[in-house]
Amino acid sequence: MKCRKCGEKAAFNMPHHKLALCREHYLEWLPEQTERTIHKYQMFTRRERILAAVSGGKDSLSLWDILWRLGYSVDGLYIGLGIDGGIQYSDESRRMCEIFAGERGLKLHVVDIPQTYGRNIAQLADATLRGAKKPCAVCGLTKRHVMNRIAREAGYDVLVTGHNLDDEAATLLSNTMNWIPGYLVRQGPVLEAGRPGLVRKAKPLCRFYERETAAYALLRGIEYIYDECPYAEGTKSIYFKEILNKMEADKPGTKLNFYISYLTAKNNGLFSSQADPELEMLHNCPTCGQATTAPGECTFCRLISKSSSNLENERC
Ligand code: Q46
Ligand code: ZN
Ligand code: ZN
């Protein structure tokens, strides 16, 4: 197969776009397409300060690299969850982020959860029923809180994450299967801040398949952590990804069509913002100042208080 642009041997083929490209042209193509996505959904401009949440994986490091190459003002944020899993998962992922930032001379904020809050993610999860089986719910809550906190404290205009099309399609399928109106209204390439205490969020890679971001990282020579988080196995997200992969194999383009058709339907008013009851209930947490729907303190602050009181009881 030959590169559509120069006729050299193609390094990567995208059947759903009927497009094959050589290494050089693929490494041009993905940033160009990312730039189009940024403009299309009015995510941010070159005058704004961007904070990229990086996990050491291929998606988030590719995103940071692409935005940096496109000339955006973008720093990184790594959140150390204190997960080992026999593979030193958190230590390794932090190392990847530090290597990446060091090679390019970019600023990386690091928040270590065990150091900051006295407990790792699994221990925080143990402090609440939410984490009874897996720590993912508590992990998600903690990451959202910390990302928003650092973005606000350090004065960033927008927080970007490396969610790809596979992630977004799986989330959409899950929300659709359960008809969760609030999530269906809010899912999308950009989530405006909406209220003081919240920062705008954007997902510039939301239209790219996971294999496209993986190809970018490999062809660009980005060192990233290959292992998944040890807690990822058996999650609902992986289950829906597997179903969508089967559909994609039968009909290339299925995931892209599913996601883009949803965005078009939403844009045409299929989902009313009245379907999002959370908007009405939002207020600012008296302890941390972040917007929350929980009555009184936000769920994260309550988690930390509960975990600290458990710790006190253990010490007694
Ligand atoms: S990092 Fe955290 Fe994921 Fe690991 S504990 Fe679950 S949510 S699987 S993106
Ligand atoms: Zn080429
Ligand atoms: Zn709070």
pLDDT tens-digit readout, 89-118: 999 999 999 999 999 999 999 999 999 999
Give SS3 for 12.
strand
Q: What is the DSSP letter of 79?
A: E
- Residue 306 Cα, ligand 3 centroid: separation in angstroms? 13
pLDDT band, very low/low/confident/very high, at 196 (cuts 50, 70, 90): confident
Ligand nearest to the CA of 6: 2
For Cα atoms 209, 212, 190, give the angle at the middle one, nearest 5 degrees: 50
Q: Which ligand is nearest to the CA of 23?
A: 2
Residue 5 alpha carbon to ligand 1 centre in Å: 39
Ligand 1, atom 1, residue with closest C-alpha: 229
Residue 131 has pLDDT above 60, yes or no: no
pTM of the model as a whole: 0.94
Structure-token pair, residue 250: 């039968």
Give the Å distances, CA to CA, from 92 to 96, 197, 220, 223.
6, 32, 20, 11
- From the CA of 121, the nearest ligand is 1
Residue (of 204, 227, 232, 63) closest to 139 by Cα position: 232
Give the C-alpha separation, 79 to 143, whole Å. 7
d(CA 177, CA 184): 11
Residue of 142, 229, 233, 240 best suited for mutating to test ligand 1, as the one with most atoms within 8 Å of CB: 229
H or E element in which residue 316 lies = none
Report how far ligand 3's centroid is from the alpha carbon of 197 (Å).
Answer: 10
**What span, in angstroms and rounded, lies between the C-alpha atoms of 151 and 160?**
10
Could you tell me where the DSSP H helices lie in the chain? Answer: 23-40, 58-69, 89-104, 113-117, 121-126, 136-153, 165-177, 181-186, 210-220, 236-250, 254-267, 277-281, 299-315
Report whether 303 contacts 146 (CB < 8 A).
Answer: no
Residue 113, φ and ψ in degrees, nearest 5: -65, -50
pLDDT of 181 higher than 90: no
pLDDT digits (tens, 9 = 90+) for 251-308: 999 999 999 999 999 999 888 766 566 666 788 899 999 988 878 899 999 999 988 7
Amino acid type, 82: G
Residue ranges around ligand 1 (CB below 6 Å): 121, 135-136, 139-140, 229, 231-232
Q: What digits encode the pLDDT tens for the residues 202-255?
A: 999 999 999 999 999 999 999 999 999 999 998 999 999 999 999 999 999 999
